[in-house]
Amino acid sequence: MRVDYDVVIVGLGPAGASLAYMLKDSGLRVAGVEMGDFSKIWGKPCGDAIGAGNFDKNGLPHPSGDALKQVVRGALIYSPSEEGVLRLTGGEGYMIDRNKYGISLLREASRGVDLLLETKVSYPIIESGKLVGVKARGEKGELELRAKVIVDATGSAASVRKKLPPEWPVSVDAPETDFSVAFRKIVELDYEIEEPEFIRIYFNVNVAPGGYWWFFPKGKSLANIGVGVQLGRGYESPAKIYREVLMKRPDVGREARVISEAGARLPTRRPLVSMVWDNFIAIGDSAYTVDPVHGGGMGYAMTAARSAADAIVAAFEEGDFSARGLWRANMVYMRGLGAVQASLDLLRMFLQTLTNDEIEWAIRKGLVGKEEIVSVFERGEFSLTRHFLDALEMVVRFLGKPSLLTKLLRANDYMRKIKELYLQYPEGPAGLARWSSQVEALVAEYKKVMEIPF
């Protein structure tokens, strides 16, 4: 059966459901297609933590009622020995029930969007070199969903994007080492968690190489506990690490009940070189819109959805659904959060080369304090060299590890350079190839200078 829409959103996870919610009052004929049923909505395994700022910024409702499990007041960052702890307070966040929040968004969205659940998209339909729809199969059998704009929000699977013509810049794939794989359990513990309003992050390359492990309370006796490692480097699987290392810890192993356990891969790199092409937009994990350092992708997916929603509405006003007509999504995302994300991608690579000894030292000495961490996640830059006295103090603080200071300053320099490049993201598709090769050259130079082996 053939059905015609203005917009078809494939995948209704954080990216697709947010976009559906944002388009519900647009007056456009929008379909949201999801292979899972309501019980599987937002079912990808996740740490379930999200910054509160993401909701107002993107015009989405804050989680409440059953969807809100715990308000987060801060984070504790542990050194490998766990004797060094950074206590970060100030920002607010939430531990959510993803399924409940996702369903609440979709119920609202369904006022203006057709939801096709239990419907799996298999292929893009390309006619005379133009993307005109997708093939899907669901309750009603084979479907041909046609639209002027197709959005791939299928997460890491990138079910539509990866099947687009290889000469389209959106279809490129990233190297395996730019991804992580993570495993998490949601468990009821047989003891009461102290300070459940603090999420805990543990850095230890012997446990979580190229990543970290976490303990995120969801109330007094419930927690989301998981571990993530870099892919493509032959590291142990996180499910095995959880079983063989974390379960031996009294704070993790004292399970009263396991509510859910699962793992998945996630991109931890800079965004796709372009989120849009003719009649096409990718958002969320499909477009690699994820924080490369901590792997948080829900807020990034919402921001990408906001850029896409505004670009779609503008494209329909102008009647132009080409890459040029949808380019606004790129301009807004890449010059905003994308620039921070690119900078954090370089930081991610640097962090993945550190030894336990260096991490221990940095956390214990408080070398990177609250101010630097806030600055790096909000602006993609450390506030390292504001004036001479600060710089001098920095040198004194690093006296035990001068080479680490040199590396950090060098990394910060490149982080600033790549951010500047993203702030000059081309104004149209014509400038993309040149810009993209400048980014690739800068990243290659960074890897060489910083001796990054992947």
Ligand X SMILES: Cc1cc2nc3c(=O)[nH]c(=O)nc-3n(C[C@H](O)[C@H](O)[C@H](O)COP(=O)(O)OP(=O)(O)OC[C@H]3O[C@@H](n4cnc5c(N)ncnc54)[C@H](O)[C@@H]3O)c2cc1C
Considering only 10-18, 139-147, 318-326, 328-336, which stretch makes contact with ligand X by CB under 6 A? 10-18
Q: Is 196 in the site for ligand X (CB under 6 A)?
A: no
Considering only 78-86, 104-112, 295-303, 410-418, which stretch makes contact with ligand X by CB under 6 A? 295-303
Nearest distance from C-beta of residue 357 to ligand X, angstroms? 27
Nearest distance from C-beta of residue 435 to ligand X, angstroms? 24
Q: Is 153 in the site for ligand X (CB under 6 A)?
A: yes
Exactly one of 50, 223, 241, 311 binds ligand X (CB under 6 A); that residue is 50
In Å, the largest CA–CA distance within the chain is: 71
Q: Is 189 in the site for ligand X (CB under 6 A)?
A: no
Closer to ligand X by CB, 211 or 429: give it: 211
Q: Is 46 in the site for ligand X (CB under 6 A)?
A: yes
Q: Is 205 in the site for ligand X (CB under 6 A)?
A: no
Exactly one of 7, 9, 86, 266 binds ligand X (CB under 6 A); that residue is 266
Closer to ligand X by CB, 36 or 325: give it: 36
Q: Is 164 in the site for ligand X (CB under 6 A)?
A: no
Q: Which of residues 271-290 bind ligand X (CB under 6 A)?
A: 284-286, 290
Q: Is 23 in the site for ligand X (CB under 6 A)?
A: no
* Minimal CB distance residue for ligand X: 297
Exactly one of 11, 80, 217, 271 binds ligand X (CB under 6 A); that residue is 11
Closer to ligand X by CB, 241 or 362: give it: 241
Closer to ligand X by CB, 45 or 63: give it: 45
Q: Contacts with ligand X: how many residues (CB under 6 A)? A: 40
Pairing of strands 222-230, 212-217: antiparallel
Closer to ligand X by CB, 148 or 294: give it: 294
Q: Phi/psi zone of residue 370: left (φ > 0), alpha (ψ -120 to 50 degrees), beta?
A: alpha
Q: Is 16 in the site for ligand X (CB under 6 A)?
A: yes
Task: Name, in order, each residue with C-beta under 8 angstroms of 123's C-beta and a sequence gap of 6 or more.
Answer: 134, 135, 163
Pairwise CA distance, residues 182 & 242, whole Å: 10
Nearest distance from C-beta of residue 402 to ligand X, angstroms? 35
Q: Is 133 in the site for ligand X (CB under 6 A)?
A: no
Q: Is 182 in the site for ligand X (CB under 6 A)?
A: yes
Exactly one of 5, 6, 14, 187 binds ligand X (CB under 6 A); that residue is 14
Nearest distance from C-beta of residue 15 to ligand X, angstroms? 3
Nearest distance from C-beta of residue 397 to ligand X, angstroms? 31
Nearest distance from C-beta of residue 355 to ligand X, angstroms? 25
**One-letter amino acid of 77:** I
Q: Is 338 in the site for ligand X (CB under 6 A)?
A: no
What is the contact surface with ligand X in residues (CB under 6 A)? Answer: 10-16, 33-36, 44-50, 120-121, 153-155, 157, 159, 182, 184, 226, 264, 266, 284-286, 290, 295-299, 301
